[in-house]
Structure 1
Amino acid sequence: MENQSVWLGGLRGPVRLGMIGFTGLALVTFVILIVSQFVSAEPIGMYEMIRPAGRPLAMLMLFSLAGALLFASVYLSDTVGPIEERPSGFFDYISLVASRLAMISIAFVVIVMFYEVVSRYAFNRPTLWANELSLWIASFIFLLAGLYAMQQRSHIRIYVIYDMMPRAFQKTADVISVLLILLFTFTLVWGGFNDAWTRMLRMETFGTAWDPPLPGTVKPAILIIIVLVAVQAVSNLIADWNKAPEHHGHDDIDEHEIETLRRTLEDK
């Protein structure tokens, strides 16, 4: 990724310090939780972690983890990869932060599944929560990835007719596409709001042994993020309005990828 600041500017340093501070606090709290498993009469496990009321240590762990994820996502969004679309719209920075959160979350899924495999097959002690936690995290990864894909203009599109149009017709097609996205968003929110609101208010759970509130969190998140996707689509339309005509030939060459392959071969 490029090292220069994309949007934080002078705030890059303080955000980095916040990321380090919250991460350190989360690690210290995690170590304390591990030690408490052996010395405490009432250790805090994964069941208690999603029911932190009256458990200050669990609340501290969740708070520090949330802070670490937030600051890390903001800090990492301040750089873009060589093949990433640089932010140009009014909503792009929010989507970049969300994308970094999704990227970090993938690592958490890997860690959870690795722990489950080792616990199950090496120690014959499978967990009750690993599968559901990975599903929970993956649900948000999927949703946030959709927002990121919209910001990057990387959703599947068919350009056969679009590339043949003059720029004025391309703009018309873009407007129609955004209007359809807005219509879909409106109908989805209109039809699903009451159900999502009810599930969120009662924090509906999954009905399993660990019983996480998947329906009570994922259902509202679907509506929230689809609204963000629609806002991002409008942002893209405004940012791309004065761009030159687009042409998406299948023979386009990715110079960065070629250079990466060349360096890899030279290193060997």
Structure 2
Amino acid sequence: MTDTTERSPIVSTGALIEWLVPFAFLVCAGWAVWHTPAYILSFIPPASDSLVEQMSQLHYRKDVTPDMPGLFGGYADILDWLALILLPIIFVIGTRTIRVAPMEFQNWRPIDRTALFVGRITMILIISMTLVMLYEVFLRYAIEAPTLWANELTLWFAGYVFLFSGLYAMQQRCHIRIFLLYDVVPRWAQRCFDVMGAALIVVFAGFLIFGSYKQVFITKFYKWEMFGTAFDPPIPATVQPMILIIVALIAVQAVINVISDWNLEPEVHTAADDIDQEELEILKKSVGSD
């Protein structure tokens, strides 16, 4: 197997486009998710008239642009269609403009671009979540006018951050691993361990998806279950399906990691790996040691 590893130039990291594209993707994704009832009613309406009426009332209550007519005889208006069309376009642009930072895993391949872009989306989500929390703190303690939506929106963002960071951590090989036995065996045995680990992840993902996809996608997503608060975001209808999607992507990424790392030289892990050299230098300076 030849090594077709792609290495990104370090000098091109941190470009403005690497901030704008994930932000644009989140804006379009947020709009599309908030108006998903319009897509369900337009493309795959429920068979029951009562469910159609219930979801249509939900759509009109949550629609950001209720005065805009739906296109093609459906419920989704032109902005809903625009967000839906732009999502895959922006995603492709984002995966093509990825530049790996110096602290990231350098032996990456073109197929890793999806996980890398998901990592950039996660970073923008963390920034957005922090801004929402700061805004709520300012309103609550400075103006004494707290919002009804900041807590649930932060919780919603945090759920996605937790899920997306799992996929990114798998691609970066920064998930928790125990090397006590792994380091003392020959390379062929390490490859066997890698295959066994990926196989266990795939089996777990398969059983999880098989056992819960009906409840998640039919009960939660298709009926668009809401959170039941004043803000009432669709957290159950969005987070639970995303769990299955991310678990499937993590399983795929685990297989990709095994294939990508097959011919790489094994890393040697020592106790020094747990020491942060920068932090150690700061401690030395603080005590006046050279």
* TM-score, normalisation: structure 1: 0.73
| 8 Å CA contact retained: 1:76, 1:100 | no
Q: What is the aligned counterpart of 1:190 among 210, 220, 227?
A: 210
Aligned partner of 2:266 in structure 1 is 245
Aligned partner of 1:147 in structure 2 is 167
Aligned partner of 2:192 in structure 1 is 172
Q: What is the aligned counterpart of 2:247 among 226, 230, 241?
A: 226
Q: Which amino acid aligns with 2:262?
A: W
Q: Please, which moves more after superposition, 235-244 or 86-95?
A: 86-95
Q: Which amino acid aligns with 2:204?
A: F
* Distance in 2, Cα, partners of 1:161 & 1:196: 39
Aligned partner of 1:217 in structure 2 is 238
Q: Please, which moves more after superposition, 170-179 or 238-247?
A: 238-247
Q: 1:166 to 1:105 in 2, by over 3 A?
A: same
Query: Over the residues paired in the alignment, what is the CA RMSD in angstroms?
Result: 4.0
Q: What is the aligned counterpart of 2:66 among 54, 71, 77?
A: 54
Q: Which ranges of structure 2 fall in alignment gaps of 5 or more residues? A: 1-8, 29-58, 69-76
Aligned partner of 1:8 in structure 2 is none
Matched, 1:97 2:117: yes
Aligned partner of 1:29 in structure 2 is none
Q: 1:22 to 1:132 in 2, by over 3 A?
A: closer
* Distance in 1, Cα, partners of 2:191 & 2:95: 34
Deviation at 1:86, TM superposition (A): 2.2
Q: Which ranges of structure 1 fall in alignment gaps of 5 or more residues? A: 6-11, 27-46
State the identity %: 38
Q: 1:173 to 1:16 in 2, by over 3 A?
A: closer
Alignment of 1:1-268 (within 5 A): 2-4=10-12, 19=21, 51-52=63-64, 54-55=66-67, 59=79, 63=83, 70=90, 74=94, 78-86=98-106, 88-89=108-109, 91-198=111-218, 199-252=220-273, 257=278
Q: 1:109 to 1:176 in 2, by over 3 A?
A: same
* Distance in 2, Cα, partners of 1:130 & 1:151: 31
Q: 1:231 to 1:58 in 2, by over 3 A?
A: same
* Distance in 1, Cα, partners of 2:107 & 2:61: 37
* Distance in 1, Cα, partners of 2:143 & 2:93: 35
* Distance in 2, Cα, partners of 1:80 & 1:142: 21
CA displacement 1:66-87 (0-9 Å, x = unmatched): 86xx579927962222121025
CA displacement 1:171-214 (0-9 Å, x = unmatched): 00001000000011001101110111121111110011111100
* TM-score, normalisation: structure 2: 0.68
* Distance in 2, Cα, partners of 1:191 & 1:130: 34
- Secondary structure (helix, strand or coil) at the match of 1:245 reads coil
* Distance in 2, Cα, partners of 1:244 & 1:77: 29
Q: Which amino acid aligns with 1:171?
A: R
Q: Which amino acid aligns with 1:101?
A: I
| 8 Å CA contact retained: 2:18, 2:97 | no
* Distance in 1, Cα, partners of 2:61 & 2:124: 20
| 8 Å CA contact retained: 1:2, 1:82 | yes
* Distance in 1, Cα, partners of 2:104 & 2:206: 29
